[in-house]
Homo-oligomer: A and B are copies of this chain.
Amino acid sequence: MTELEKGPTGRRRGRGARERILGAAQQLFREQGINRTGMNELCAAAEVSKRTAYQHFTGKDELVAEYLRRFDPSVLPGVFDRTDLTPRERLLAAFDIPPGTPLCPYIGAAVELHDPQHPASRYASDYKKAVAARLADTAREAGAADPERLGEQLALLIDGAAARTRVLDADAFPTAAAIAAVLIDNALPATTGHDRRREELSS
């Protein structure tokens, strides 16, 4: 239905209220959480009337679901496409996150929604699996013995760091990165080592 609202020029007739709503949702839900962000506040931030908002989304639940679904494409953006890095370095780069980077919203969403039946739960599950899969792909590329296993382990480390950072209000990603380094070194066959520069030295 939404797609049909596009005119022959490919441009919506209105002024793009839907995108503004989702933009405001992304910012406010992240900053304040879902439950603490009322529709009034959200509509004000989006510079959209409430009426319009409820014409685009049947209710807050649907908006929340769409907000979480949208997060999907941004799976650790860029990290896995850095061709200048070795696979091993790419795996570690997933933990090299500047402080203040918005963390995975699904942990908070799972707590706030508190309903495993909520449609958004599936998006969370999909996202987690996607992250683990991309980590596994890179692990395979790096020559890991059991890439799926390593991918799952690294994904758990990311979640642990995110959760701990949130509760303790202190960056826990360096600790997670240190663990990741150990796991990777243990998973890669000895010949691959942890130091690619050996190629430039003797052999």
Contact = CB atoms under 8 A, between A and B. Distances in A.
Interface of A: 32-33, 35-36, 106-108, 110-112, 114, 116, 121, 124-125, 128, 149, 152-153, 155-164, 166-169, 172, 175-176, 178-179, 182-183, 186
How many copies of this chain sit in the oligomeric assembly? 2
The residue in A108, A124, A153, A156 that gathers the most chain B C-beta atoms within 10 A of its C-beta is A156
Contact of A167 (B106, B149, B157): B106
B114 A32 contact: yes
Contacts of A33: 111-112, 114
Contacts of A124: 167-168
Given A111-B107, A159-B160, A160-B161, A178 B153 contact: yes
A106 B172 CA distance: 16
Contact of A156 (B149, B169, B172, B182): B172
A132 to B, nearest CB: 10
Contact of A110 (B153, B166, B186): B166
Contacts of A179: 153, 156-157, 179, 183
Given A153-B178, A168-B125, A168-B128, A111 B112 contact: yes
